[in-house]
Structure 1
Amino acid sequence: MNSKIIFSLFLIGFLPLIFDNSYAQITSGGFGQSPFERDFGDVKFLDAYFGTIDEKIEIEPGDGNVPFTVVFANVGTQDITGIRGQLSLPMGFSASDGPGSIIRADSDSNSLAGENFHITFFVNIDQNVKIQQYPGTVKVDYSRLRESGVRTAFADFDFKITGDSVINVKAQDPFLTSLTTNNVVIEIANDGTAPISGVDIVATNTSTELASTSSSTTNVENVVILESSWDIGNINPKSARYFTATVYVPESLKGDTLRIPLSISYYNAHGDLHTISKIVDFYIKGLIDLTIFNVDVIELSGTQMVIGEIINEGNEDGLFGFVSIEPKGDSNIKPSTQFIDEIEVDAPVPFNVPIEFKGQPRYGEHEITITVRYKDSTRDEIFLTQDQIITIVKPSNDDDTTDPTMIIIPIILIVGAAIYIIRRRKKATIEAS
């Protein structure tokens, strides 16, 4: 009797569980009615991130209508359909429909048993949200094929606001000089708000690509670059790193723009590998290579002058040239300048700068600095200096020195007059006889 009563009570208590599992009002999916319950079910949470199923993206505060993808696995034994999702995120995140709207999304397809599926939501991010990790919760409603009713799964997860990396490259000095080797310093900057790591840079040569294109966007195949790759490492937000390339430019590229293509690979804040292309531009100047030689001191019209020549062994004329002399040490020569205009290639340009003294003239050796000032084709002013020792001698027309011609000429006149008088007297004597 007692055993029958006990069995009847047990059966009455067990029936609700049977009906509850038979219809769709029960939650499932491995999480029960709460994210903290862990029961076996059909749906398993895999990942949640900003981006699409094909690519994670970097985002920063203030971005709007950003895709947010949640990935699940159908671990059940049956296909599921009618997949709908609802997203719960902290304050500062809202639906793209506007504040106060529920963040909802539907899956575009069914999920076969044993395969993954995803739901993509669209979210607005407040400007005041910080770059850090945040918690979230997702609710998934779905139905099994050949079964009526709706099942529900919950999952809680962590996601992060990564910030956005913005990569720019530029040359510290955008000018190269032909006929010489240039040490080029290139800056790679992360102007964004997300760090990048494992940065590698390769200088690419497009000469192999010319066969398949009608024209090239770069002429890097015409120069010699000694290095081809650089390992940069990590670059924090709002900071920059630098690397050096050694580039030889032939004379034929003078006046052209050199475009060096760079392939930059790096890992973004999600840990995904990305590769982008950038081009660094340079203007190629001609070479002005000056030498000062044949420096001496001469006397011209009673004035002593520093003379010399300037030779340009480059491939471009120097413009607006000046030559200056300045005293060094205990020299009392006054600074002086001469305008020499253009300094042409392979044609010596003479200069002669008058010597003047501060106070009484001092003869003998003097230390001076000769400076050639000129401009190149970009109107940058360039200075060439050379220290020189010159010797200044006492001029030959000083007051205490007698000019020999002042003595010789009167003597010649007197001798001539005497000869003339003697001849006249002889002639007169002959005529009288």
Structure 2
Amino acid sequence: MINHKILFSLMLLLLIPLIVHDSFAQITSGGFGKSPFERDFGDIKQLDAYFGTINEKIEVDPGDSNVPFTVVFANVGTQDITGIKGQLSLPLGFSSADGSGSLIIANEKSNSLAGNTFYLTFYVNIDKNAKIQQYAGSVKVDYSRLRESGVRSSFSDFNFKVTGDSIINVKALDPFLTSLKTNNIVIEISNDGTAPLSSVDIVASNTQTELASTSTSTTNVENVVILESNWDVGNINPKSSKYLTATVYVPENLQQDTLRIPLTIKYYNAHGDLQTVSKIVDFYIKGMIDLTVYGVDVIELSGTQMVVGEIINEGNEKALFGFITLEPLNNSNIKKQTQFIDEIETDSPVPFNIPLEFDGKPQYGEHNIQLTVRYKDSIRDEIFLVHNATIFLKEPPKVDSGNNSQLMIIPIIIVVAIVMYVILRRKKSKVSTA
């Protein structure tokens, strides 16, 4: 009996550790055992990791150097911590700004109160061969609890992204406007960077008050009428463009001046953060040249038939270096000719007169002609105005041949009489001397 009691006691002693282990399996150090929600409790929890500073995330490109890289933590413990020091471990293609082979270290000089967040900012170089994509990294944080000796360490894994960099440029496809008329303008919004722009929205400011907080540049945009002022552009991929169209009326008094249209561009960058950028599109305002050819007719001057007419400029700017060219149309045999008419002012008509010449025998009656006025504006662009007309050439009156012969006889008679008179005088002189 005693042997059985001893044996039973030994069996109980052997079973006690197993019973105790199973009883506390759900609260073992480090979490909830085999539960899918298993986790390790500690003082520090890593929240975010990105390129940028405490206040702002930034976009980066392969090849950028000395770039701030910030890791965000929360002190989830019940005590304040101090002496915070971080060491960053990044994959191949990323190195310390202190040089190749150096540790990527950051220190947090202040304490972190229980329940608060704190930041560690590292400075890294990005290899030019790195790709724009997501990467994995790790961080080690050493710290001490207040009123406790010794150093604790926390390890966290995280993902981060090389985003690429968005670069916004704006320009007018045609940077010239004409005063005294309505202009249809096209503005190009281009993303010359390597990161996409999302949900791009653009507003054109049109008052001096709106400009006061965004730009110190002078502008006269309040003196024009812009019919469209807001554009929902959508997404702009890297190395691509979108186009805005607008209608702008420029009054007469704005000419030979620069019109500056400020644009406020809002978009979401590769981090998903809303960004606001101010840009200005410049236009040069030309005066308007509005020429009309009228009063085309044919007159005869000193026995020569001439095409005459006038050119009137109904704009607010004179045309420079004017020429007018006469060309035949259809079956006309009038020779092509060009005449210089110089400047065409806005206050009075400019007359022209082109003498008619023919290829071959003159043809009378109706002739279809083309008059082309060639001139330059204030920016020295050459402009052509074409005017077609029909003229009528009168045949000159025929001269009577009988009257002509009588007119020719009279000088002959006079010459004969003079000769006879000279001969008779000589004969008389000879007789008197004999």
SS at match of 1:251: coil
Instruction: Give 2:185's aligned residue.
Output: 184
Displacement of 1:254: 1.5
Is 1:290–2:291 an aligned residue pair?
yes
Instruction: Give 1:267's aligned residue.
Output: 268
1:155 counterpart letter in structure 2? S
Distance (whole Å) between structure 1 residues aligned to residue 295 and residue 374 of structure 2: 18
Q: CA RMSD in A?
A: 3.2
Distance (whole Å) between structure 2 residues aligned to residue 50 and residue 405 of structure 1: 109
- 2:179 and 2:250 in contact (8 A); partners too: yes
- 1:105 and 1:120 in contact (8 A); partners too: yes
Is 1:355–2:356 an aligned residue pair?
yes
Distance (whole Å) between structure 1 residues aligned to residue 263 and residue 146 of structure 2: 53
Distance (whole Å) between structure 2 residues aligned to residue 47 and residue 212 of structure 1: 33
Gaps of 5+ in 1: 14-20, 22-27, 31-36, 411-433
Instruction: Give 1:402's aligned residue.
Output: 400
Structure 1 residues 68 and 405: alpha-carbon distance in aligned structure 2, compared to 1, 3 A threshold: farther
Displacement of 1:3: 7.0
Q: Provide the TM-score with structure 1 as the length reference.
A: 0.82
Instruction: Give 1:121's aligned residue.
Output: 122
- 1:51 and 1:66 in contact (8 A); partners too: yes
Displacement of 1:407: 10
Distance (whole Å) between structure 2 residues aligned to residue 69 and residue 113 of structure 1: 20
SS at match of 1:221: helix
- 1:328 and 1:367 in contact (8 A); partners too: yes
Distance (whole Å) between structure 2 residues aligned to residue 120 and residue 405 of structure 1: 117
Distance (whole Å) between structure 2 residues aligned to residue 194 and residue 108 of structure 1: 35
Distance (whole Å) between structure 1 residues aligned to residue 269 and residue 140 of structure 2: 29
Aligned length: 392
Deviations 1:82-108 (A, max 9, x none): 221111111111000001111111123
SS at match of 1:252: coil
- 1:52 and 1:120 in contact (8 A); partners too: yes
Instruction: Give 1:378's aligned residue.
Output: 379
Displacement of 1:291: 0.5
Instruction: Give 2:137's aligned residue.
Output: 136
- 2:54 and 2:119 in contact (8 A); partners too: yes
SS at match of 1:208: helix
Structure-to-structure mapping, 1:65-214, within 5 angstroms: 65-208=66-209
Instruction: Give 2:326's aligned residue.
Output: 325
Structure-to-structure mapping, 1:246-265, within 5 angstroms: 246-265=247-266
Displacement of 1:211: 9.1
Displacement of 1:268: 0.9
Structure 1 residues 110 and 404: alpha-carbon distance in aligned structure 2, compared to 1, 3 A threshold: farther
- 1:68 and 1:121 in contact (8 A); partners too: yes
Displacement of 1:212: 9.8
Distance (whole Å) between structure 2 residues aligned to residue 181 and residue 245 of structure 1: 10
Distance (whole Å) between structure 1 residues aligned to residue 407 and residue 141 of structure 2: 127
Distance (whole Å) between structure 1 residues aligned to residue 151 and residue 213 of structure 2: 57
SS at match of 2:114: coil
Instruction: Give 1:240's aligned residue.
Output: 241
Q: Provide the TM-score with structure 2 as the length reference.
A: 0.82
Instruction: Give 1:426's aligned residue.
Output: none
Distance (whole Å) between structure 2 residues aligned to residue 212 and residue 113 of structure 1: 40
1:335 counterpart letter in structure 2? K
Structure 1 residues 211 and 198: alpha-carbon distance in aligned structure 2, compared to 1, 3 A threshold: closer
Displacement of 1:129: 1.2
- 1:206 and 1:216 in contact (8 A); partners too: no
Instruction: Give 2:10's aligned residue.
Output: 2
- 2:205 and 2:211 in contact (8 A); partners too: no
Structure 1 residues 210 and 268: alpha-carbon distance in aligned structure 2, compared to 1, 3 A threshold: closer
Distance (whole Å) between structure 2 residues aligned to residue 252 and residue 142 of structure 1: 71
Deviations 1:121-177 (A, max 9, x none): 100111111211111111122222222222222222221111111111111122211
Structure 1 residues 288 and 408: alpha-carbon distance in aligned structure 2, compared to 1, 3 A threshold: farther
Distance (whole Å) between structure 1 residues aligned to residue 11 and residue 148 of structure 2: 38
Instruction: Give 2:43's aligned residue.
Output: 42
Structure 1 residues 205 and 408: alpha-carbon distance in aligned structure 2, compared to 1, 3 A threshold: farther
Distance (whole Å) between structure 1 residues aligned to residue 92 and residue 129 of structure 2: 10
Distance (whole Å) between structure 2 residues aligned to residue 272 and residue 337 of structure 1: 65
- 2:83 and 2:109 in contact (8 A); partners too: no
Structure 1 residues 7 and 42: alpha-carbon distance in aligned structure 2, compared to 1, 3 A threshold: farther
Distance (whole Å) between structure 1 residues aligned to residue 243 and residue 39 of structure 2: 52
1:186 counterpart letter in structure 2? I
Distance (whole Å) between structure 1 residues aligned to residue 190 and residue 368 of structure 2: 49
